[in-house]
Structure 1
Amino acid sequence: MKSNSIKIFFIFLFTIKMSAQSSHVLWYSQPAEFFEESLVLGNGKMGATVFGGANSDKIYLNDITLWSGEPVNANMNPEAYKNIPAIREALQNENYKLAEELNKKVQGKNSESFSPLGTLEINNEEKGKAVNYRRELDLSNAISKVSYEMAGIKYTREYFVSAPDQIMIIKLTSDQKGALNFNINLKSLLKSNVEVRNNMLVMTGSAPIHENAGYAVLPKYLDIKDRGTRFTTLIQIKKTDGKITNSRESLILKDATEAIIYVSVATSFNGFDKNPATEGVEDVAIALQNLNKAFSKPFDKVKEFHIADYQKFYNRVTLDLGKTTAPDLPTDERLLRYSEGKEDKNLEILYFNYGRYLLISSSRTLGVPANLQGIWNPHLNPPWSSNYTMNINLEENYWLAENTNLSEMHLPLLSFIKNLSVTGKTSAKTFYGVNKGWSASHNSDIWAMTNPVGQFGKEDPMWACWNTAGAWLSTHIWEHYVFSQDKKYLKNEGYPIMKGASQFFLEWMVTDKNGNLITSPSTSPENQYLTPDGFVGATMYGGTADLAMIRECFDKTIKASEVLNSDAEFRTKLETALSKMYPYQIGKKGNLQEWYFDWEDKDPRHRHQSQLFGLFPGDHITPLKTPDLAEASRKTLEIKGDETTGWSKGWRINLWARLWDGNRAYKMYRELLRYVDPDGKKTEKPRRGGGTYPNLMDAHPPFQIDGNFGGAAAVAEMLVQSDENEIRLLPALPDAWETGSVKGICARGGFEIAMEWQNKTLKKVIIFSKTGGTTILISGDKKQTITLKKGEQSEINW
């Protein structure tokens, strides 16, 4: 009797486990038809987009280093700076129309594009109707699976992209002997050649060498012999039984029971300053070496190493938001149900976990950070060139790196900033006449391009002429230091780059008629003002966004110099400049002014909120330190409203979190997870606009990964906020998350937090110090000072 009860109890437990919706697994009951339904895999260099079709499977392949172009000629417009005095004079005379026209003369080339590598197809000989179909992506081990039955035979596929072995693996099995019959082929939208050599499918090709000016769709890329980045894809099959044959461009496997497909990719990219055609690495040799090494190992070992490598990052953070009554449904149906306002706490966790998964999968290549599409782009002419847009998007990709315990994933961005500081020295001199430091502008690419864009005068200054990226990016260096406490990095690499960014702005700024330091010319990212006499423009002076970013840049550079106890003279210059900068202005509507004057916006609900930089991601505006400015920031957000999409919504959620308004942040988090139909899908009542596609990728639209990253970062920001001296616990906890726990969230000062809360009240905290130090823990009205040695932790029942 007793053993029966135990048996029933375990069956009950198993049933609960099976029926509860997962916070780690995306799953679907049909193959993907569109990109926005596919499941993505990556090892930080190679990306794979899996459709999971039964009769025919399609996988888009990417390599993060495959871009159009070659090293940038930073000296492309050597006399552009000569226009600056005339622009400043026009602005001094309040002639904004003339300033706008003259500003176009301070433009260079547009960025290069991230290129699609190719498409792998697996075509089954058996054609029929698949039943009991399931497709999934398990975020806990970065493995995708497909299973289905056809003609009474069960087929399964397992896919992963390994970082340790730099290989993609697809394992196919059937539950009846000899039932696997398929062929594999490869194709590319780029110039390429496909052939079979020694039972190996080989595709070689090259990316174009020029930017796709104006983002117009070209019928064909310009090819120039012996220029551009080369690429190689190699595919080989390991079988247990059956027979491998081939045609000229396909590998064929017949009568097999189990087969493992190995996919190896490589490019000739050898750094931002090396010509990939003449100074590139040997892509064929690298692809072959990776293939041979992985092929010689047992499948189970390659899989084991992949999982162990991935989980050492992913498993650092766990989040629980309490009981949920949501049913277990396929992810697309869950998203639809959630969009109707229903509760699904585990979907909210799944989205957070997915953001961390995407960063681990797309950001592990030094000097080549995750781009607008992360690492997953199928288009020859991707949206916005799939480039590095540095007036928000690139930076937002990395907001979750440090606080969600993925500091290593920040390194590709930090090393890219170092590259920008090299080309940026030339841009500073030739475009702005500034002889010290470095500058960076609106767009960049793998070649660390730093010039203002616009095709040499053809584009609108409202986006093309912005030049404050160096200030924003340099704050990421301080973030990395203050979370990691890596003083060696700060001294040897970080501080010189921060100093260079500050030097540029010290020399670039001028004084207004009242003696305040301002920027001139200035633009506020992608926004336009409306003057009292009706002129609509972008070029002006003393833009709030510029000054907010420069304030933050100077403040963090001062702090870095204090930590290193060096460069006191330069520190004093920065402190003096900070004290003279044109102060924030609160407008007649109670808002934080975006423009030097209290002008109207052309679009009052504009998607950018750059003037609020000091609130987030900066930290010099807070409800406690600067209550007036925090209140003006709140008013600005209220005027702009909540109706925005993608990265903009991700940013606004973080801004509301910093204002300690958890319920407003949560409302917008729910809106970020609004179901959106795939772009190409035709339905009777299409669900379009901003939100989340069926595969949980961000719908800006089209797909941009920054919304995923910004949304995930905001969850952490709602739970923990910190600065160099204190850690605020549950500062923006929404009512919907009244009970829960989190483990592994990081705080500035080198601390790691685990905590539990009930009825919106903190119950228990465990704080761990990676490097040793003192901080003040704050939750509600309670404060507690904690001092820990390196590797020590303290448990507090709050």
Structure 2
Amino acid sequence: MKKYNFSIILLLFTFIGVFGQSTNTLWYKQPAQYFEESLVLGNGKIGATVFGGVNSDKIYLNDATLWSGGPVNANMNPEAYKNLPAIREALQNEDYKLADKLNKKLQGKFSESFAPLGTMYINSDEPKEYTNYYRELNISEAISKVSYEVKGVKFTREYFVSYPDQIMVIKLTSSQKGALSFDVKFNSLLKYKTITTKNTLQINGYAPIHAEPSYRKSDNPIIFDENQGTRFTTLAKIKNTDGKIITTDSTLGIKNASEALIYVSIASSFNGFDKNPATEGLNNNAIANQNLQKAFAKTFAQIKLAHLKNYQNYFNRVSLNLGKTTAPNLPTDERLRRYAKGEEDKNLEILYFQYGRYLLISSSRTEGVPANLQGIWNPYMRPPWSSNYTTNINAEENYWLAENTNLSEMHSPMLSFIKNISKTGKITAKTFYGVNGWTAAHNSDIWAMSNPVGEFGQGDPCWANWNMAGAWLSTHLWEHYVFTQDKNFLKNEAYDIMHGAAQFCLEWLVLDKNGKLITSPSTSPENIYIASDGYKGATMYGGSADLAMIRECFDKTIKASKILNIDAAFRAKLEDALAKLYPYQIGKKGNLQEWYFDWEDAEPQHRHQSHLFGLFPGNHITPIKSPALADACRKTLEIKGDETTGWSKGWRINLWARLWDGNHAYKMYRELLHYVEPDEVKTNYARGGGTYPNLFDAHPPFQIDGNFGGAAAVAEMLVQSDEKEIRLLPALPDAWESGSAKGICARGGFEIAIDWQNKNLKKTVISSKKGGKTTLIFGKKTKQISLTAGQKIEVNW
């Protein structure tokens, strides 16, 4: 049993707390035992999961570009579209059972999986008894630290992953000269070989050519081929000031030192979604060696300074204060438990918001490789849901905070990925649906796979056959433009892709019996209806979610066409089709209908609420523009209830914010921070969505989308905008009666700073990136604003 000097620890924690640890630091009194207690670092490509153990420190390593598989054969089911007439005929005959059966013929392969690169161990020969243990992650610096004492000797470790130097650095020190001794060891679930030289550990390996999704039974779920798959190199090198470096055939270590640095360099052969990583790949060994040599020539102070400057350029753009707090300064896990009991902790609410921004900066800086379901942190060979891009909500939710929390650059990996998937998506549109343009379906991966999944007929259509990802993803291109006002981006990058997504939808639509345009076949993501004859199914026609996404896609493409003054004929077709879309229907319960008919849901509290897309993330339903539909959305949310998975809570908070119900949004925000034990800890209570000890979102299991959706919702509660107006404090809860926010972004290229007291605005500062006009709205007050590029003004209310 370990002994702790609690008086010293208390003094340490109190001292740190004075300097605001509670809003930017996660800290603990013990090492992590489980993944959900670890602290994660990343530079948008290299991911590190640090456990902070004393005698053996375990660090999971990931590379954002290391996945199973290779470039997808998008033409995998070239005659699938020939099944469409039979499916549509079954639907016209209201034979939904047959339509479900036939819809399975519109399926292709499953996605590939994000791979775990390996685990690095730092093993020391210090005695097991230790005191004064402390572990932290400072998200304002993106640096993690560990300290403890053994027989009066203080040992410290400092870890960070640098973007400028593309290197992970670990600094180890002891307070007594010559007391530091450790070995570095590596292992992996992938195929690999280890080579050691005088002060470098080199690991070369490769990922599998296929990894079956974790939810599918298979006799051979992981397939390796030494001639195929993405290659990787990991290098670890020690720089010492004293002591002696020692090696074995599988370890690298040091004896009797006072201070040492471990440099860790990682590279893969991934060379783009359409290049074979084995035969057309990058030289991972050369890249890893080059990055290591360049970094090794620099001092720790130089690398750290460059890291801080680069990271804080993004993180420091936004600040948030939610007023006075009386919460005690507790370790983060204890803090979450206390908060779950209903106690006040405004700074924990700020920490969670800023932690979402931290995670996005740390996981989304590689072109064409957006943050996946687990960001870039995954230790599993067959991770939950393949740790892929689930494009019926989760991949998109990861980027809801990119623009409004002032991290527009972090949106770039997703935007470039959309460009990639639009290319494979053209083949999918032709072969699966018999139309032009492009689309994507329920799942994708680093290879920009766009086909509907299901392994050619084995998938349930309720999730496998949804095909509206193109419409949804295209709206991200518009969002980036409308926040940045980057007309060159709209013209040269976004518009053709938006046009292609709209073209698919335009040609996919068919007329119903009343002459209205609908989709057929249609599904609503992962949800099941109960037809009038009692049949429970997924395949139908005219699903509200499809039409909501098409409305948004058409609306944004029309606006882009007008801004660029191009494509007038196509724009006219979109405007005509938009007017003929089957309208939203309000059901007998006052809810917004999810189905063409007023059918019951097989699961009324289902986690998805895709048919509310027009309220959020779309904006064609609002309490002012369409009050009846907004009320129907409210009723739908009331029927669904608040208890749901982590990512779904994140979405519902945004929806309540868009309904301008700050107190309900806040209630759900608190519930998103509900404490959930690590997955391997058995508990006797329902483990719904919430937050793990390390602030990771609990679906459960871990999915990062809840972190991102929750952070986006905080900004949405404080500032909402469209191309013409900015609404300030639209969903401010009573709990946040006084506070301030700085750096929140608004559509139109504006940046906002606000101070409020007793729920009244005291000060507003607005600046413009490119110049423009907008209307500021606070309650019933409005202010017309016109700014030049770079201008900043203070607005008094």
Which category of TM-score, normalised to the shorter sequence, fits these structures?
A: over 0.9
- Amino acid across the alignment from 1:781: K
Matched ranges for 1:326-405 at <5 A: 326-405=327-406
Three-state SS of the structure 1 residue aligned to 2:541 is coil
- 2:198–2:246 Cα contact (<8 Å) kept: no
Using the alignment, how far apart are the partners of 1:536 and 1:654 within structure 2? 30
- Amino acid across the alignment from 1:147: S
Instruction: Describe the shift of the 1:90–1:16 C-alpha distance in structure 2 as closer, same or farther (beyond 3 A).
Output: closer
Superposition deviation, residue 225 in structure 1: 2.9
- 2:206–2:226 Cα contact (<8 Å) kept: no
What do residues 508-552 of structure 1 show as CA deviations (whole Å, max 9, x unaligned)? Answer: 110001110000000000001001211000000000000000000
Using the alignment, how far apart are the partners of 2:219 and 2:644 within structure 1? 31
Tell me the residue number matched to 1:452. Answer: 452
Cα RMSD after superposing both structures: 1.3
Tell me the residue number matched to 2:3. Answer: none
- Amino acid across the alignment from 1:222: I
Using the alignment, how far apart are the partners of 1:644 and 1:220 within structure 2? 31
Tell me the residue number matched to 1:228. Answer: 229
Using the alignment, how far apart are the partners of 2:135 and 2:690 within structure 1? 22
Matched ranges for 1:383-462 at <5 A: 383-434=384-435, 436-462=436-462
What do residues 270-289 of structure 1 show as CA deviations (whole Å, max 9, x unaligned)? Answer: 00000000000000000000
- 1:215–1:381 Cα contact (<8 Å) kept: no
- 2:198–2:247 Cα contact (<8 Å) kept: no
Three-state SS of the structure 2 residue aligned to 1:23 is helix
Instruction: Describe the shift of the 1:15–1:174 C-alpha distance in structure 2 as closer, same or farther (beyond 3 A).
Output: closer
Tell me the residue number matched to 1:3. Answer: none
Tell me the residue number matched to 2:615. Answer: 615
Superposition deviation, residue 505 in structure 1: 0.8
What do residues 553-611 of structure 1 show as CA deviations (whole Å, max 9, x unaligned)? Answer: 00000000011111111110000000000000000000000000000000011100001
Tell me the residue number matched to 1:4. Answer: none
Three-state SS of the structure 1 residue aligned to 2:477 is helix
Using the alignment, how far apart are the partners of 1:53 and 1:759 within structure 2? 46
Matched ranges for 1:610-759 at <5 A: 610-682=610-682, 685=684, 688-759=687-758
Three-state SS of the structure 1 residue aligned to 2:223 is coil
Matched ranges for 1:518-529 at <5 A: 518-529=518-529
What do residues 133-182 of structure 1 show as CA deviations (whole Å, max 9, x unaligned)? Answer: 00000011100000000111000000000000000000000000000011
Identity %: 73
- 2:39–2:51 Cα contact (<8 Å) kept: yes
Using the alignment, how far apart are the partners of 2:528 and 2:514 within structure 1? 25
Using the alignment, how far apart are the partners of 1:348 and 1:451 within structure 2? 39
Using the alignment, how far apart are the partners of 1:550 and 1:525 within structure 2? 15
Superposition deviation, residue 15 in structure 1: 5.8
Matched ranges for 1:276-355 at <5 A: 276-355=277-356
Superposition deviation, residue 720 in structure 1: 0.1
- 2:502–2:557 Cα contact (<8 Å) kept: yes
Runs of 4+ in 1 over 4 A off after TM superposition: 14-17, 217-220
- 2:197–2:247 Cα contact (<8 Å) kept: no
Using the alignment, how far apart are the partners of 1:20 and 1:751 within structure 2? 29
- Amino acid across the alignment from 1:576: D
Using the alignment, how far apart are the partners of 1:384 and 1:365 within structure 2? 22
Three-state SS of the structure 2 residue aligned to 1:500 is helix
Tell me the residue number matched to 2:66. Answer: 66
Instruction: Describe the shift of the 1:452–1:17 C-alpha distance in structure 2 as closer, same or farther (beyond 3 A).
Output: closer
Tell me the residue number matched to 1:533. Answer: 533
- Amino acid across the alignment from 1:715: V
Matched ranges for 1:9-408 at <5 A: 18=18, 22-212=22-212, 215-216=216-217, 221-408=222-409
- 1:128–1:151 Cα contact (<8 Å) kept: no
Superposition deviation, residue 688 in structure 1: 2.6
Tell me the residue number matched to 1:5. Answer: none
- Amino acid across the alignment from 1:666: Y
Instruction: Describe the shift of the 1:501–1:16 C-alpha distance in structure 2 as closer, same or farther (beyond 3 A).
Output: closer
Using the alignment, how far apart are the partners of 1:227 and 1:75 within structure 2? 20
Superposition deviation, residue 16 in structure 1: 9.3
Using the alignment, how far apart are the partners of 1:741 and 1:218 within structure 2? 57
What do residues 619-662 of structure 1 show as CA deviations (whole Å, max 9, x unaligned)? Answer: 00000000000000000000001111211000000000000000
Instruction: Describe the shift of the 1:16–1:322 C-alpha distance in structure 2 as closer, same or farther (beyond 3 A).
Output: farther
- Amino acid across the alignment from 1:240: T
Tell me the residue number matched to 2:502. Answer: 502
- Amino acid across the alignment from 1:134: Y
Superposition deviation, residue 245 in structure 1: 1.0
Using the alignment, how far apart are the partners of 1:72 and 1:146 within structure 2? 43
Using the alignment, how far apart are the partners of 2:150 and 2:425 within structure 1? 58
- 2:649–2:689 Cα contact (<8 Å) kept: no
Superposition deviation, residue 217 in structure 1: 7.0
Using the alignment, how far apart are the partners of 1:135 and 1:515 within structure 2? 64
What do residues 747-775 of structure 1 show as CA deviations (whole Å, max 9, x unaligned)? Answer: 00000000100000111000000110000
Superposition deviation, residue 19 in structure 1: 8.0
Tell me the residue number matched to 2:4. Answer: none
Instruction: Describe the shift of the 1:701–1:217 C-alpha distance in structure 2 as closer, same or farther (beyond 3 A).
Output: farther
Tell me the residue number matched to 2:600. Answer: 600
- 1:217–1:381 Cα contact (<8 Å) kept: no
Using the alignment, how far apart are the partners of 1:62 and 1:689 within structure 2? 28
Superposition deviation, residue 470 in structure 1: 0.3
- 1:677–1:686 Cα contact (<8 Å) kept: no
- Amino acid across the alignment from 1:469: A
Instruction: Describe the shift of the 1:642–1:76 C-alpha distance in structure 2 as closer, same or farther (beyond 3 A).
Output: same
Instruction: Describe the shift of the 1:761–1:450 C-alpha distance in structure 2 as closer, same or farther (beyond 3 A).
Output: same
Superposition deviation, residue 385 in structure 1: 0.1
- 1:19–1:328 Cα contact (<8 Å) kept: no
Superposition deviation, residue 17 in structure 1: 5.1
Three-state SS of the structure 2 residue aligned to 1:110 is coil
Superposition deviation, residue 199 in structure 1: 2.3
Three-state SS of the structure 2 residue aligned to 1:60 is strand
Using the alignment, how far apart are the partners of 1:723 and 1:146 within structure 2? 45
- 2:406–2:743 Cα contact (<8 Å) kept: yes
- 2:56–2:121 Cα contact (<8 Å) kept: yes
- 1:676–1:691 Cα contact (<8 Å) kept: yes
Tell me the residue number matched to 1:480. Answer: 480
- 2:211–2:223 Cα contact (<8 Å) kept: no
Three-state SS of the structure 2 residue aligned to 1:368 is coil
What do residues 705-727 of structure 1 show as CA deviations (whole Å, max 9, x unaligned)? Answer: 00000000000000000000000
Using the alignment, how far apart are the partners of 1:220 and 1:247 within structure 2? 34
Using the alignment, how far apart are the partners of 1:400 and 1:648 within structure 2? 15
Superposition deviation, residue 128 in structure 1: 2.0
- 2:211–2:382 Cα contact (<8 Å) kept: no
Q: TM-score, length-normalised on structure 1?
A: 0.97
- 1:607–1:644 Cα contact (<8 Å) kept: yes
Tell me the residue number matched to 2:568. Answer: 568
- Amino acid across the alignment from 1:175: S
Using the alignment, how far apart are the partners of 2:452 and 2:568 within structure 1? 32
Using the alignment, how far apart are the partners of 2:19 and 2:236 within structure 1? 39
Superposition deviation, residue 689 in structure 1: 2.4
- 1:21–1:329 Cα contact (<8 Å) kept: no
- 2:17–2:329 Cα contact (<8 Å) kept: no
Structure 2: give runs of 5+ residues left out of the alignment.
1-10
- 2:522–2:539 Cα contact (<8 Å) kept: yes
Instruction: Describe the shift of the 1:120–1:721 C-alpha distance in structure 2 as closer, same or farther (beyond 3 A).
Output: same
Instruction: Describe the shift of the 1:687–1:81 C-alpha distance in structure 2 as closer, same or farther (beyond 3 A).
Output: closer
- 2:439–2:501 Cα contact (<8 Å) kept: yes
